[in-house]
Amino acid sequence: MKIKNVVLNLSPEETLRLTRVLLDDDKEEALLFLKECLKPQFDQATRDH
């Protein structure tokens, strides 16, 4: 399986949320951010057409 580059776009609100997660070192919020914001984009970008 060949792995391709994936580009994820963050809205201003998501960028702020990610910044807060990184500054606070909040593991629970980090996992929630991954599931809510990044996973849907990742799934769409890696879906086979």
Q: pLDDT tens across 1-31, in order?
A: 687 888 999 999 999 999 999 999 999 999 9
Count how many Cα atoms sit within 13 Å of the Cα of residue 39 in the half-sphere of its side chain: 7
Flag whether the pTM goes above 0.95.
Answer: no
